[in-house]
Amino acid sequence: MPTPESSIATPGISTSGDFEYMKLSQTLLAAFPSQNDIDILCKSDYQATYYFHKIMTNADHGLDHEAYNFVDELAQIPSPSTHPVMIAKRMLIFASFLQYFPPHTVAELSEPASIVIKRLTDAAIQLVTTNDDLVDCMEGLECIVLEACFQANAGNLRRSWYALRRAMLTAQIMKLDKENQSPRRIDPRTTVDPKFMWLRLVIIDRFLSLMLGLAEGNPGKLSYENLSAADPRTQLEFMQAEIIGHLIRRNATDPLAQDVRTTQDLDAQLLRVAKSMPEEFWHPPNFSILEMNSQDDFSETRRLGYQLHHFNLVHLLHLPYLLSSNGHSYDKYAKFTCINASREILSRFVDFRNFHKFTTCCRTGDLFALMAGITILISHIDGHRNPNPTENLLAHQRLSDRAIVEHVVANMNEVAMNSDDKLLGRNADILKGLLKCERAAVDDDSYTASSALCCLEQEFNALQTPISYFGMAKVPLHVDNIPLPVNTSNDVFSFAGPRQPSSNGLLPMQSQLSYLPADQQTLHPSLTDTMQDPMFQGVDAMFFDGVTRAGWL
């Protein structure tokens, strides 16, 4: 660990509000972990947080150096004269560290990691990132971005989206969306590229808006004068962001009511984007020869992330056509493209989770896997309705598809057990229930994709069960035109069509999905937030809205 002499000095207070800032700094410092806990944090697995932070703030990632110097400075508790924004930045980075830590490392801390994380983030967010008088500088903007990234990695996409929008508004006030701006810096050594930071905010906002079914915050074409000199992966990300903007606008109305050429054009753009990268870029990741949380691990995980985002875009683009029966010639192509993209997501998720068995961050990858697994199983349930088995075009892929979903379930359960992650375990239970439904649908034609989703959502509503980390389904359902006793205050879905209860009073699918014990309604207060807050609604609605628009419900 560094000595005080080796530590880089942190900018002190140099404004007219010295006394008030010093009191604020002292309040923030009271939330810091002990020096011994800081030493543990800085000795373990810090590279991933450093690399991710650099990617967020600067096009010149500098991944080959300075990681140790970055942590070397963080290892010292700041003095009370340090500017509160610089202290908050350090606190949010510490909280991000803890998201990557395996349980055995967290166990070495003098207090539970969840308590440390909550204390750090609550203080930094309440006192700094939401204080407009403090964040109108590059370091303040960094703090808001760190907050958004922390929330996204914790699975709180709606809170992340709120933070990103605050960051975008702050950046616009600082005129970062304009050319040749020199925003204020507290520390003259801050190396954040203002223009790149602005574009990064727009890109992430588009991704979160797509996943939450919301409008983008900055429509229009992205431009970055240094894009041609950027590395190919950054260029890929910019091209994906352009497509996301078009996809958000397509999803604003019913895709099936539009000219199919809109979807075909976006599909052609995705194909061109894929071809713009070398073929080896699309090879499945190989983590077996890597060291955990090394630079190579981060680089391979980053490549995996780009692949997952690409296949997720392909998946969501064609999702409305998954069970469509409007007779359009494009339907079959769209359906199989959607299913194949889901398979690509699941296989890569398994590769990632086979290597990263402990970390509970990267929640978006968990969500992609959940949606892909639901898509594949619903497709097979629907395929069993065909009275002629030879016309079920998915029949030969059924066993292999079930195998990969079962592998995903096993991965989720293992990570959930290792990390005491109740929410990831809940996602595994969702897929496990649908696996049971799909098996039963082979011999019982009363099982349909429609009833599977309806009863799945009924389970979520009856138990106030989160469909994932990101939302809670409260869905108005009806059986034989008799309203079920559910909360209809959030009328997200509307289902129609006959569904006959079985002899035990449950819908055919419901008996298969009644596997979640009532005592799981109270979530363990772990590193993720409680899901009882309606602000977490969103991703589940976006996903189910995609499949229900097809007109088959």
Q: pLDDT digits over 185-197, tens only?
A: 998 888 788 888 8
Question: What distance in Å separates the CA atoms of residue 155 and residue 138, rounded to the nearest whole number?
Answer: 26
Q: How many CB atoms neighbour CB 385 within 10 A?
A: 14
**472: β partners:** 466
The DSSP code sequence of 138-155 is HHHHHHHHHHHHHHHHTT
Please say if the pLDDT value at position 462 is more than 80: no
Where do we find the tokens 């970062």?
176
Question: What distance in Å separates the CA atoms of residue 544 and residue 457, rounded to the nearest whole number?
Answer: 10
Confidence of residue 223 (pLDDT cuts 50, 70, 90): confident
Q: How many DSSP H helices and E strands does the chain contain?
A: 20, 2
pLDDT at position 193: 81
- What's the pTM value of the predicted model, to 2 decimals? 0.80
- With a pLDDT cut of 90, the percent of the chain lying above it is 33
Q: Which ranges constitute the DSSP H helices of 463-536?
A: 508-513
Where do we find the tokens 């004269």?
81
Question: What distance in Å separates the CA atoms of residue 308 and residue 342, rounded to the nearest whole number?
Answer: 10
Question: What distance in Å separates the CA atoms of residue 122 and residue 118, rounded to the nearest whole number?
Answer: 6
Question: What distance in Å separates the CA atoms of residue 228 and residue 239, rounded to the nearest whole number?
Answer: 12
**479: β partners:** 482
Task: Give me the residue spans of the domains in the chain.
Answer: 16-192, 283-476
pLDDT at position 69: 65
Question: Can you state the angle between helices 113-124 and 18-29, rounded to 10 degrees?
Answer: 170
| Beta-sheet strands, E only, within 301-405 | none
pLDDT at position 227: 67
CA 81 to each of CA 20, 123, 432: distance values in angstroms, whole numbers, following the listed order: 11, 17, 54
Please say if the pLDDT value at position 528 is more than 90: no
In 3D space, the residue among 86, 208, 91, 186 whose CA is nearest the CA of residue 147 turns out to be 91
Q: Among 169-173, 206-210, 250-254, 380-384, name the one with the lowest average pLDDT.
A: 250-254
Burial (Cβ within 10 Å: 0-12, 13-18, ≥19) of residue 465: buried
pLDDT at position 10: 55
Confidence of residue 291 (pLDDT cuts 50, 70, 90): confident
Q: Is the pLDDT higher at 357 or at 144?
A: 144
